[in-house]
Chain A
C-alpha cells in the first residue's frame, strides 16, 4: 500500500493501483475522507445531500458551548442554538515515515476568525486485512482556552465525534458491527494508553469507539 499527498489538497491511499480512500485536507470547514472504498472499489460513504451539506464523508466534528464545529452555516444550525461557525484549518500535513505505517499526520487549528479553541494532531493510517482495509484515526486535541464541549441539540443520540453518512446500499443488504452499536453510541471512556504524548501531566480525556463497516451488495 502507499500514500500520496497531492498539491491539489488531497491525500490518496492506494492498494497497488486501487484507490482505497481520498482525504481532503483543504476544505474550509473540516477535512474528510470521500471516497472510502472497499477492496473491490465500492464507496461506503454518500456525498452530502442538499439539506446536509456538512455531511461530507468520514469526518470529525464537535460542538462547543460557544462555537459550532459540526454544521457549517447558520441555515443548517439548530434554530434553538445558533453559534458562530468554527473551522478546522490544516496547518501542516506530512506522510508518516514508513516505520510508523502507511498514512499521514496533520496539524489542525480549530478556530473562528477571532478565537482558537484547539490545536490537534491527527494521525491516520491504513493496513490491509483479509478482504478489508483497516483505518486507524488518532486525534489528540489540546484545548487552547477553557471551553465546554456540549451535546447535540438534535433529537436522538447526537451528531459529534467521528461521523459518516453511509451509502444507502449499506442499509439494504449491509450491516454495522458490533451490532449493538447504534448511531451516536458512546462507549465507556478509557484513560489514554499513550502517556508519552501527554508529558505535561495534564488530565487527558479519551474515547475509544470502534466501528466495523461491512459493505453490502448494492441492488
Chain B
C-alpha cells in the first residue's frame, strides 16, 4: 500500500517550487 500526494491527481511544479510532506508510521506490537 502507499500513501502519497499524487494518487488520483496530477500536480504541476515549477522550477524552485517545493513539495513538502510529513508521514508518521507507528509500528506496534499487539
Contacts and interface: CB of A to CB of B under 8 A. Distances in A.
5 contacts: A132-B27, A135-B23, A183-B2, A204-B18, A215-B30
Interface stretch (A73-81, A90-98, A100-108, A153-161): A153-161
Interface size class of chain A, counting residues whose CB lies under 8 Å from the partner chain: 35 or more
- Interface SS of B by simple majority: strand
Interface of A: 21, 36-40, 42, 44, 58, 60, 62-63, 118, 129, 131-152, 157-164, 166, 174, 176, 181-187, 189, 192, 194, 197-198, 200, 202-217
B27 A139 contact: no
Contacts of B29: 38-40, 42, 131-132, 214-215
Question: Which among B4, B14, B19, B30 has the greatest number of chain A C-beta atoms within 10 A?
Answer: B4
Interface residues of B, number: 30
Contacts of A185: 3, 7
A135 B26 contact: yes
B4 A207 contact: yes
Given A39-B29, A184-B1, A62 B20 contact: no
Interface string B11-30: 11111111111111111111
